Amino acid sequence: MSFLAGSNMVGGYGGADILKGCTVEVDEGEIAVIVGPNGAGKSTAMKALLGMLELKSGSVTFKGKDITHLTPQARIAEGIAFVPQTSNVFVNMTVYENLEMGAFLRDDDITQTVEQIYELFPVLADKQNQLAGELSGGQRQQVAVARALMSQPSVLMLDEPTAGVSPIVMDELFDRIIEVRQSGVAILMVEQNARQALNIADKGFVLVIGENRHTDTGEALLADPEVRRSFLGG
Amino acid sequence: MSSELKTKLAFAMVAGLLLIIGFSQSWSVALGIFNLCLISAVMALGVNIQWGYAGLLNVGIMGFAALGGMAAVLVSQAPVAAAWEAGWAKLALAAIFFLATVIGTRLCYRKMSPGRHRTLSMTAIIILGLIMVRYWLDPAVASIEAIESAKTGFLGGMGLPIIFSWIFGGFVAAGIAWVVGKVALGLRADYLAIATLGISEIIIAVMKNEDWLTRGVKNVTGLSRPVPYEINLQTTEWFINLVSWWHSGTLSALSKTDQAGVLKQAVIESSSIFVKLCYTGLFASVLIIVLLLSVKALNSPWGRMMRAIRDNEIAAGAMGKDVTRRHLEVFIIGSAVVGVAGAMLTTLDGQFTPTSYQPLRYTFLIWVMVIVGGSGNNMGSVLGGFLIWIIWIEAEPVGVWLMQFGTSWMDEGNSLRIHLIDNAQHMRLFFMGLVLLLVLRFSPGGILPEVVRRRS
Amino acid sequence: MEAIIDITNAIVLILNYIIVPGLSYGSQLALGALGITIIFGILRFANFAHGDTMAFGTMVTILVTWWLQSKGVSLGPLPTALLALPVGIVFTIGIMVATDKLVYKHYRRHKSAPVTFMIASMGVMFMMNGIVRFIIGPNDQRFLDGERFIVRARDFKVSTGLSEGLSIKVSQGLTIVIAVLLVLALFWFLQRTRTGKAMRAYSDNEDLALLSGVDPDRVVLVTWILAGILATIAGTLYGLDKSFKPFTYLQLLLPMFAAAIVGGIGNPIGAILGGYVIAFSEVMVTYAYKKVFIYLLPSSLEPSGLMQLLSTDYKFAVSFIILVLVLLVKPTGILKGKVI
């Protein structure tokens, strides 16, 4: 059984089901990427893992425990961190305060974690006393990821971390994410930039209308001609 | 329960309440309450047009009601010729400068490109204009107010029958609503609420201070009436005949000597009821007209568009509806209705006292009526106007009675008992709040919720 | 020399009639607006009951003050009300927390629109107003004791030899000192403590705060506690400085709202700034400058009128006009507030 797994998840936001039996999972030290066309339920799948929508059937397990009925808050306390796609920083707080908020549930000394974060994202060290709302889009994205990492999660979930940033920034962000993986964190992300994301992915899930269409390693998916034709633009 | 049946039941309950008051207190009291119920219902309809149809949160109802009241003065009072003579020229100049300032500022805003130059020139025009207005207005005011200040000291009115003020009051309120709407509509709901709250306070401040216009805190008393005076009725032959016919049963049983005294008493009592009935007829006609027009408007394409805008402003805007313009329309119409009700109220009171306008009574109480009755439903607003007014009035005697009953075990002279009984009247505010919160919580649509029509 | 004395006299006039009253009134408004802005920042609605909450807290303080006075307790030169204030605060917090549980919590759970909250707050306003009038009555109450003045006009004239006097009331001095201390404490709390940061985070981005593990119930509770403290202190200071009358407190709602919005709603610094902007505008626009001009201008140019821009009764108009101007020119307020 995987470290974090959502199996055969079915559910939606009250109306018609958006997820119709989809399975996503990720292991420690792995990057798993969910790709697929618009409206496939990628973000919804991630929200289901986080407990932000009620599942009709299927289950979510984490570290071998069934967490299907835990609240999002409880899952966060268990060690899952989430970076939303938009509004993912506290704009009226400084970069350092954003990091502090990331570590809100920790009682121990956070200085060391902050040091590590600054090593990972050097630009944040320079801007630590600046309001997050004043930073550029790419820098904000770094703050968002950094905030999530401050809780020392064992799973980091990212909802389209590269949406709206330039290709250079995107490459840099992916580099950072690979670095985070090396520390043993399980990383699950939803991505629009499917090709680049699958490039760094250990596992890939191609979702279509709430179901898994293809599930394989990132490499294999990139090589699969059908996936290339249908989802990667040739 | 069907909504129609519920409406009937609710109104039957109100009628029952009035009957109880009639039997237990007196018919004159019940009729007096009923008249104010009618006015409250008109006012609530006005607010319902704004809130229920369009979702506009107007917390300045007091101001528009007061404008209607002022209209009653301006229409019915006889003009004070001496004051006009003393002040008209300067007043006219002040008015001209005021208009010039407004037009100048607008031109400046329209024609100049945004930036510091525009801001500076607009500020200059406004300051200069205000100085000129004050230069002419101050002496005009002084000379007008100097004329027999104990008796008049203001310009007076048009000397027309007061009933015209009901229309005029609507127009005055509509005019001010247009200005207010131009400025404040388009703000967020809570900002609009606060802005209208402010405007109503300003309107009242103007009425308290501009003695040349409204006599200010010196009040205008003895307004003329659209109905006969009791004192005249009591000496009118047909009325005495009517009363003696009505009471013929009781009268014939009495001796000739007693008859005259009893008849006189009956005539005095009946005259007051007759006057109130006249008012009832007038107010009820207005209520019916406003109600019919409201229902018609709500069910017209215009009403449907209004509700569409209320329910989803963005979608309605995207479909090409001019949201701000529609809001302005509805704001003006609703305010005009409130103005009409305000004029009716002042007519009934027979006097105009600016200090009596308090937001709890004239703004927030009306809100309670609309919310409790059922926002978006015209019959609901009428019901709310009736029911809440009855509770508002009867909470006082009932509260005092309850306190007396509850403290009857205490000494007559116990200071706590005296305090409780003296202050029991204020508990009606508490109960109003409680009713509002209970309805909002357990029946958010009000007693008679909006009927959602679906095309089959 | 003559000219210098004239100018000094004019300055003293302005100090006495504009600066000192403006500072103390501004502090009272600022504290009130802070309460409104914090509630708005966290709970996202304009609380119409805030004026009556102030009246409630002040009423409890007054009752305790009277009781203390009857027992012969006093603070010497300072008003006894300061001793009673903590009791008032505790009661106000109690009633606010109870109101939240009984009224607002329901709407929060159902994620109701801000307008619903606002209408509910009108209901709360009615009830509070009823309670206050029922207990203490609708009339003016005075509860100031101790020394009246820090600086008396007559003493000032004697010691400086000027013809204009400067008087500073104890209540004015207290208002300014307490407001400064309270604001410092509030900002220390919001900037430095864990709970304070959680509140700022919640106000900034509710969802992300929840994702960071902030407990919303706790944030809401602390919000009402802060609002209770601010409302009671603001109300008591206003009552000491002027007088206590339930209706006046209802009317304070407008300048307080104006202050909060003008400064940028949801922004505490903005609320303080707004409080002083509104207070000084009110005082400056309604002050009659005739005497100032008499001192400053040669006697040939002496003004004939009062040189008053607006009569004092139009002070509401001042806060309102500033409010509208700011909303039209910069809808987010002078300092950036929330735009929802």
Mean pLDDT, residues B271-291 = 94
Q: Of A89, A101, A107, which to mutate for an interface test with C (greatest number of C Cβ within 10 Å)?
A: A101
Can you read off the two tokens belonging to residue C162? 């000027």
Return the SS3 of C308: strand
Dihedral sign computed on CA atoms, order B244, B245, B251, B257 = positive
Let me know: does B370 contact B29? Beta carbons within 8 Å. Answer: no
| Helix or strand run (H / E) with residue B97 | helix B81-111
**Alpha-carbon span A105 to A77, nearest angstrom:** 7
Q: Are residue B346 and residue B361 in the same domain, yes or no? A: yes
**Alpha-carbon span C231 to C55, nearest angstrom:** 8
Query: Tell me, what's the pLDDT at B455?
Result: 52
Mean pLDDT, residues C133-143 = 91
Q: Are residue B272 and residue B242 in the same domain, yes or no? A: yes
**Alpha-carbon span B376 to C272, nearest angstrom:** 39
Could you identify the residue written with the tokens 């974090």?
A4
Domain region containing B341: 3-79+156-442
Bridge-based pairing of strands A31-35 and A186-190 is parallel
Q: Is the pLDDT of residue B233 over 70?
A: yes
**Alpha-carbon span A42 to A197, nearest angstrom:** 14
Q: Are residue B282 and residue B338 in the same domain, yes or no? A: yes
Instruction: Provide the number of structural domains found in chain B.
Output: 2
The amino acid at residue A108 is D
Q: Does residue A175 form part of some domain? A: no
Q: Is the pLDDT of residue B456 over 70?
A: no
The amino acid at residue B39 is I
Q: Is C128 on the interface with B (CB under 8 A)?
A: yes
- CATH number of the domain at B390, please: 1.10.3470
**Which one of B97, B126, B155 terminates a domain?**
B155
Q: Is the pLDDT of residue A143 over 60?
A: yes
Instruction: Provide the number of structural domains found in chain A.
Output: 1
Let me know: does B68 contact B345? Beta carbons within 8 Å. Answer: yes
- Subunits next to C (3 or more Cβ pairs <8 Å) are A, B
Structure confidence at residue C337 as a pLDDT band (50, 70, 90): low
Render pLDDT for B69-97 as a digit per residue (tens, 0 to 9). 999 999 998 888 888 888 888 889 999 99
Q: Does residue B374 form part of some domain? A: yes
Render pLDDT for C105-133 as a digit per residue (tens, 0 to 9). 999 999 999 999 999 999 999 999 999 99
Other CB atoms within 10 Å distance of the CB of residue B423: 19
Q: Are residue B180 and residue B249 in the same domain, yes or no? A: yes
Give C242-295 as a DSSP string. Answer: S-B-HHHHHHTHHHHHHHHHHH-TT-HHHHHHHHHHHHHHHHHHHSB-HHHHHH
Mean pLDDT, residues B170-192 = 88
Query: Tell me, what's the pLDDT at C339?
Result: 44
A47 to chain C, closest Cα gap in Å: 12
Q: Do C214 and A104 touch (CB under 8 A)?
A: yes
Mean pLDDT, residues C56-75 = 94
Query: Tell me, what's the pLDDT at B236?
Result: 86
Q: Is C214 on the interface with A (CB under 8 A)?
A: yes
Q: Is the pLDDT of residue C340 over 50?
A: no
Let me know: does A46 contact A34? Beta carbons within 8 Å. Answer: yes
**Which one of B106, B125, B155 terminates a domain?**
B155
Can you read off the two tokens belonging to residue C78? 């300072």
Let me know: does A142 contact A121? Beta carbons within 8 Å. Answer: yes
Mean pLDDT, residues C39-68 = 95
Q: Does residue A61 form part of some domain? A: yes
Let me know: does A93 contact A104? Beta carbons within 8 Å. Answer: no
> In degrees, to the nearest 5, what angle opens at C-alpha B127 toward C-alphas B125 and B130?
100
**Alpha-carbon span C96 to C102, nearest angstrom:** 10
Closest by Cβ to A76, choosing from C197, C205, C211? C211
> In degrees, to the nearest 5, what angle opens at C-alpha A44 toward C-alphas A43 and A48?
120
Q: Does residue B434 form part of some domain? A: yes
- Subunits next to A (3 or more Cβ pairs <8 Å) are C
| Helix or strand run (H / E) with residue C162 | none
Structure confidence at residue B139 as a pLDDT band (50, 70, 90): confident
- Subunits next to B (3 or more Cβ pairs <8 Å) are C
**Alpha-carbon span A57 to A41, nearest angstrom:** 16
B441 to chain C, closest Cα gap in Å: 8
Query: Tell me, what's the pLDDT at A155?
Result: 94
Q: Do C208 and A88 touch (CB under 8 A)?
A: yes
Please indicate whether chains C and B are in contact, defined as at least 3 beta carbon pairs under 8 Å: yes
Q: Do C123 and B444 touch (CB under 8 A)?
A: no
Bridge-based pairing of strands A19-26 and A4-11 is antiparallel
Render pLDDT for A21-79 as a digit per residue (tens, 0 to 9). 999 999 999 999 999 888 888 989 999 999 888 889 999 999 989 999 998 888 998 99
Could you identify the residue written with the tokens 């109130």?
B276
Q: Do A151 and C201 touch (CB under 8 A)?
A: no
Closest CA to B334 of B322, B326, B345: B326
- CATH number of the domain at A34, please: 3.40.50.300
**Alpha-carbon span A88 to B332, nearest angstrom:** 43
Closest by Cβ to B359, choosing from C115, C250, C323? C250
Q: First-to-last CA distance in chain C?
A: 58
Q: Is B209 on the interface with C (CB under 8 A)?
A: yes
Give chain A as a DSSP string. Answer: --SEEEEEEEE-SSSS-SEEEEEEEE-TT-EEEEE-STTSSHHHHHHHHHT-S-EEEEEEEETTEE-TT--HHHHHHHTEEEE-SSS-S-TTSBHHHHHHHHTTT--S--HHHHHHHHHHSHHHHHTTTSBGGGS-HHHHHHHHHHHHHTT--SEEEEESTTTTS-HHHHHHHHHHHHHHHHTT-EEEEE-S-HHHHHHH-SEEEEEETTEEEEEE-HHHHHH-HHHHHHHS--
Q: Do C116 and B432 touch (CB under 8 A)?
A: no
**Alpha-carbon span B231 to B403, nearest angstrom:** 38
Let me know: does A63 contact A80? Beta carbons within 8 Å. Answer: no
The amino acid at residue A140 is R
Cα Dmax for chain A: 50
Q: Do C134 and B430 touch (CB under 8 A)?
A: yes
Scanning every residue of chain C, which has its alpha carbon at the shortest distance from the alpha carbon of B180?
C324
**Alpha-carbon span C36 to C32, nearest angstrom:** 7
Q: Listing from the earlier edge strand, what are the strands of the sheet with A4-11?
A: A19-26, A4-11, A55-62, A65-66
DSSP type of residue B227? S
Q: Is B436 on the interface with C (CB under 8 A)?
A: yes
Long-range contacts of C188-194 (CB under 8 A, 24+ apart): C189/C226, C190/C268, C194/A104
Angle, helix C114-136 to helix B365-373, in steps of 10 degrees: 130
Q: Do A92 and C211 touch (CB under 8 A)?
A: no
Can you read off the two tokens belonging to residue B89? 């020229």
Query: Tell me, what's the pLDDT at C330?
Result: 79
Can you read off the two tokens belonging to residue A162? 């590269």
Flag the least confident range among B161-175, B324-338, B391-405, C176-190.
Answer: B391-405
Q: What global pTM score does this model have?
A: 0.90
Can you read off the two tokens belonging to residue C112? 């109701």
Q: Is the pLDDT of residue A5 over 50?
A: yes
Query: Tell me, what's the pLDDT at A146?
Result: 95
Domain region containing A30: 1-78+192-234
Q: Does residue B40 form part of some domain? A: yes
Render pLDDT for B311-336 as a digit per residue (tens, 0 to 9). 888 888 888 888 888 999 999 999 99
Q: Is the pLDDT of residue B371 over 70?
A: yes
Render pLDDT for C276-331 as a digit per residue (tens, 0 to 9). 999 999 999 889 888 888 888 887 777 777 777 887 878 878 888 888 788 777 77
**Which one of B155, B171, B196 terminates a domain?**
B155
Give whole-number Cα distances, B186 to B326, C22, C41, C320, in Å.
Answer: 11, 32, 22, 17
Q: Is C213 on the interface with A (CB under 8 A)?
A: yes
Q: Does residue B451 form part of some domain? A: no
B272 to chain C, closest Cα gap in Å: 33
Could you identify the residue written with the tokens 């630009």?
A123
**Alpha-carbon span C117 to C119, nearest angstrom:** 6
Other CB atoms within 10 Å distance of the CB of residue C311: 16
> In degrees, to the nearest 5, what angle opens at C-alpha B105 toward C-alphas B99 and B106?
90
Q: Which residues pair with A25 in a beta bridge?
A: A5
Scanning every residue of chain C, which has its alpha carbon at the shortest distance from the alpha carbon of B420?
C134
Render pLDDT for B31-70 as a digit per residue (tens, 0 to 9). 999 999 999 999 999 999 999 988 899 999 999 999 999 9
Q: Does residue B302 form part of some domain? A: yes
Q: Are residue B52 and residue B24 in the same domain, yes or no? A: yes
Please indicate whether chains C and A are in contact, defined as at least 3 beta carbon pairs under 8 Å: yes
Can you read off the two tokens belonging to residue B177? 């609503």
Q: Is C56 on the interface with B (CB under 8 A)?
A: no
CATH for the stretch C2-329? 1.10.3470
Q: Is C313 on the interface with A (CB under 8 A)?
A: no
Query: Tell me, what's the pLDDT at A166?
Result: 87
Between C213 and B146, residue with greater pLDDT: C213
Q: Does residue A83 form part of some domain? A: no
B289 to chain C, closest Cα gap in Å: 29
Q: Is C98 on the interface with B (CB under 8 A)?
A: no
Let me know: does C291 contact C47? Beta carbons within 8 Å. Answer: no
Please indicate whether chains A and B are in contact, defined as at least 3 beta carbon pairs under 8 Å: no
Mean pLDDT, residues B217-244 = 87
ipTM tops 0.85? yes
Q: Do B426 and C138 touch (CB under 8 A)?
A: yes
Mean pLDDT, residues C33-60 = 95
Q: Is C133 on the interface with B (CB under 8 A)?
A: yes
Flag the least confident range among B140-154, C56-70, C83-97, C180-194.
Answer: B140-154
Q: Does residue A126 form part of some domain? A: no
Contacts of B78 (CB under 8 A, 6+ apart): B156, B157, B159
Render pLDDT for C220-262 as a digit per residue (tens, 0 to 9). 999 999 999 999 999 999 999 999 999 999 989 989 999 999 9
**Alpha-carbon span B272 to C15, nearest angstrom:** 60
**Average per-residue pLDDT for chain A:** 90
**Alpha-carbon span A97 to B184, nearest angstrom:** 38
Bridge-based pairing of strands A203-208 and A186-190 is unpaired
Compute chain C's Rg from CA coordinates.
Answer: 22
Q: Does residue A31 form part of some domain? A: yes
**Alpha-carbon span B371 to B438, nearest angstrom:** 11
Render pLDDT for C2-37 as a digit per residue (tens, 0 to 9). 788 888 999 999 999 999 999 999 999 999 999 999
Q: Does residue A160 form part of some domain? A: no
Q: Do C205 and A90 touch (CB under 8 A)?
A: yes
Let me know: does C260 contact C254? Beta carbons within 8 Å. Answer: no
**Alpha-carbon span A170 to A151, nearest angstrom:** 24
Q: Which residues in chain B have their CB less than 8 angstroms from residue C122's CB? A: 364, 367-368, 433, 436
